[in-house]
Amino acid sequence: MKPQFLIGGATSGSGKTIFALGLLRALKKRGIKVQPYKCGPGFMDTQLHSISSGTDSVNLDSWFAGRTHLQYVYNKYGEKSDVCVIEGNSALFDGYRRMQGSSAEMSQVVSVPVILVVNARSAAYSVAPMLYGYKLFRPQVKIAGVVFTHVSSSTHFSYLKDACNDAGLNSLGYIPFDESLKLPQRHTALTLSVRSEIEEVAEKAAYYVEQNIDIDRILKMCTRIFPCEYTLPYTSDVEGTGNYDVIHKSLKIAVARDSAFNLIYKENIDRLSAIGRITYFSPLYSNNLPEADIIYIPGGFPEMFARQLHRRKSLMKQLKNYADKGGRIIAEGGGMVLLSRSLTVREGGSAYEMSGVMPFGCTMVDSHLHTGYRIIEMSDKLLRGHEFRFLSIDTEKSQLPSDVRVIPVRNTRGEKADSYIYRYRNAIAGFTHWYWGETDVLRLWD
């Protein structure tokens, strides 16, 4: 038995992330070990969770993986914690297809109640019918109570408590309106100055949580049996290492990780750890590639470090030689920039030379946001992931040389997305961040 719950927003912009960070930090101050999770594909919130709680946060996404796998991941990471806290994604019932992929669905997958967060900035007692609707719309989604944000005064909160009482829900407290409770923009690298900003917000949010929210009541009313039960059929394959032959343990895997490349799903790293020994290197600061059988370059914000990356001439040359010799590479999101010919950040700006593994450049010029879930079939394996980018490539598909294979990517409805996977020998790259928690990574090169 341990406290377990999902923090869900009544609407997008409800303030659930501020509440989550404040609660995580408040629990940490009490000496309580909390395991944070993020419902959905986002990277920024998991980084915020990790800073606030001191524990790596884990993504749970029902587009990425099946129900049993998600339950396995939830149980695996939560086993040694005192409390499990999931921050939801978007509004509570918003999924990629009705409720599919929603935070509400995830609360049912792992059998936890919901703490509903409501932005009360422009409402008082009028939130009552909305709360009543949330309570009755899907009764199997258990709402344990409500936390209000952007509350202007104790009088304002008294109206909101009345609304909760009349809607038949527990009022658990509030976070007052404070203009300084602002997080860094989501399209930003996690530099030391950004970390400092996040620390300040987490501390202030924790103060408000400790002053105005009944933490002990939340923990008591959300205590449930742990681990959650697996959905049948259950097979031993879900335990991750069962698919891999022991001889693969000797593989050397180099993972890029620094301020420019740090958007990584934790379960991906665990899957790589199951097949080999991981070494980290920094494209920003390293002059040499580590010796490796596989190189993984995750997403990030290379456009914010274009000049610094350009100066790593020796590393770029080694990366190109590694690929030319058939070395296995996975590059995703911003990681593909490192494999490209060049990076152009602004109109009229320099085209900073990169490694040139791929015969195209990447650019921010005239680009716009491309986002959404993605799926691809490659080497008889289905991979699922998510794309969130402003970058684009400067070369048409028809102009690429014949030694570069172009593989179409599809969205949740099976339609072609406006991006591709590119393969040159054993280098595989694309703008999508893939989740391979259920996939044998080595099969990608079959």
pLDDT at 212 over 60: yes
pLDDT band at 178 (very low <50, low <70, confident <90, very high): very high
Range with the largest mean pLDDT of 4-8, 64-68, 183-187:
4-8
Backbone phi and psi for residue 430, each to the nearest 5 degrees, phi listed first: -175, 170
pLDDT at 235 over 70: no
Task: Please state the pTM of the whole predicted model.
Answer: 0.92
Nearest to 189, CA basis, from 114, 58, 274, 284: 284
Given a contact cutoff of 8 angstroms between Cβ atoms, the answer to whether 432 and 419 are in contact is yes
Given a contact cutoff of 8 angstroms between Cβ atoms, the answer to whether 163 and 124 are in contact is yes
Q: What share of the chain is helix, strand, coil (3-state, %, to 5)?
A: 35, 30, 35
C-alpha to C-alpha distances, 280 to 31, 257, 273, 309, 380, nearest whole angstrom: 30, 6, 12, 17, 30
pLDDT band at 232 (very low <50, low <70, confident <90, very high): low
Least confident piece of the model among 19-23, 36-40, 241-245, 310-314: 241-245
Domains 2-224 and 241-445 share a fold: yes
Least confident piece of the model among 1-15, 44-58, 183-197: 183-197
Q: What is the CATH number of domain 241-445?
A: 3.40.50.880
Q: In the predicted model, what is the mean pLDDT of residues 182-192?
A: 75
CATH fold group of domain 2-224: Rossmann fold (3.40.50)
User: If you write DSSP's letter for every residue of 95-144 in order, what string do you get?
Assistant: -SBTTBTSHHHHHHHTT--EEEEEE-TT-STTHHHHHHHHHHHSTTS-EE
pLDDT band at 98 (very low <50, low <70, confident <90, very high): very high
pLDDT per position as a tens digit, 384-426: 999 999 899 998 888 999 999 999 999 999 999 989 999 999 9
Domain boundaries, the chain: 2-224, 241-445
pLDDT at 237 over 70: no
pLDDT at 4 over 50: yes
pLDDT at 238 over 80: no
DSSP 3-state of 292: coil
Quick one: pLDDT at residue 189?
67
Residue 186: its H or E element: none
Mean pLDDT of the chain: 92
pLDDT band at 190 (very low <50, low <70, confident <90, very high): confident
pLDDT band at 244 (very low <50, low <70, confident <90, very high): very low
DSSP 3-state of 404: strand
